[in-house]
Structure 1
């Protein structure tokens, strides 16, 4: 299977790019965000590739990073989300924005992707909220349901910790990240979640 392509951009279309690798042109389907950031024709490019083999076709999907490819795989574990919808979502939202939307249960942000309605967005949040962090951290396809220990006292902190731990991040690290956000004067659960995600993703 092809996992990476390094070559020269030969042509850029609405859905795919042709990458010339030693005289062989590979058609690679990419999210809109990746196509928008593609070098001009004649310039070098490297793409992380997901190869999909079916009875009637072999198709290559290209991404700017391994994390994007993991998201492509994770999204397709959701009922009703195939390759086309996954590409549409990744064409509008980065992995960080997707993680934040899931943590905040913000279906409206996800529906910004073409062809994604409220029902699909709600299902995506429901099915992914307890596994995103662990899958991306491990780089694999395993999922882990982590029980949440509710913090007593401050309900804002408790809700932020709950949301982040449910994404699969270690509770001890989550509590440190949320505490730092609280020390910085953040007062709402949404702000603490955003700050916690930034701290945890930087580690």
Structure 2
């Protein structure tokens, strides 16, 4: 099992990144909260990882901190929640915000996430509630092992890249376009995605 990677960030194209570790490039999928915290391309980076082995592929997921990875692993144990939906949930809200939604029976906030309907939200609350008492809320937004958001992803069209990333997270094309409409297209891809997700959660 690969539990952690430390190396040089080679690429950052939401929802993917590539990290060079001693000459080997590891491709990882990550939540937007992790991707937004990555340093610039070419800089040192460390992420916690989860490896999923399927018949047709070995998939590696990267996380800014251990609590995010722990929540991902708990989410994929919930009936009907796979890695894609788990990453969409982690992209739409931070771990502590999700924990509060579960503990407060906040179905409304959960159903704003892509792919989460009322029944899924109710199932998340029922199956996840008992797993949180031993977790302690982390203060601040600092992410272990990562610097503040660095260079923007190099792209000819950040708006198109942001729309593609939102679709990958589970949003329908028309919904992704709506969330991005009116935003400053000169912003980096990560900033556009974050603004779109914030707009969605504000409802």
Q: TM-score range by the shorter chain?
A: 0.5 to 0.7
Measured in 1, the distance between the counterparts of 2:18 and 2:100 equals 33
Measured in 2, the distance between the counterparts of 1:2 and 1:133 equals 27
Structure 1 partner of 2:116:
116
After TM superposition, which residue ranges in structure 1, 4 or more long, deviate above 4 angstroms? none
Structure 2 partner of 1:74:
74
CA deviation vs aligned residue, 1:71-122 (integer Å, no higher than 9, x gap): 0011112111000000000111111111110110001212232222222111
Moved more, 125-134 or 96-105: 125-134
Measured in 1, the distance between the counterparts of 2:111 and 2:45 equals 30
**1:168-187, aligned counterparts within 5 Å?**
none
Measured in 2, the distance between the counterparts of 1:89 and 1:133 equals 20
Structure 2 partner of 1:40:
40
Q: 1:84 and 2:80 equivalent?
A: no
Measured in 2, the distance between the counterparts of 1:11 and 1:46 equals 14
How does the TM-score come out when normalised to structure 1?
A: 0.64
Measured in 1, the distance between the counterparts of 2:132 and 2:126 equals 11
Structure 2 partner of 1:52:
52
Q: Shift in Å at residue 130 of structure 1? A: 2.1
Contiguous gaps of at least 5 residues in structure 1: 138-203
Structure 2 partner of 1:61:
61
Measured in 2, the distance between the counterparts of 1:118 and 1:111 equals 6
Moved more, 86-95 or 124-133: 124-133
Task: Tell me: higher relative CO, structure 1 or 2? Use CA pairs within 8 A at least 6 residues apart.
Answer: 2
Structure 2 partner of 1:12:
12
Where 1:105 maps in the other structure, the secondary structure is coil
Question: What's the RMSD between the two structures over aligned residues?
Answer: 1.3
Measured in 2, the distance between the counterparts of 1:10 and 1:104 equals 40
How does the TM-score come out when normalised to structure 2?
A: 0.64
Q: Shift in Å at residue 33 of structure 1? A: 1.1
Contiguous gaps of at least 5 residues in structure 2: 137-203
Measured in 2, the distance between the counterparts of 1:10 and 1:105 equals 41
Measured in 1, the distance between the counterparts of 2:40 and 2:117 equals 34
Where 1:115 maps in the other structure, the secondary structure is coil
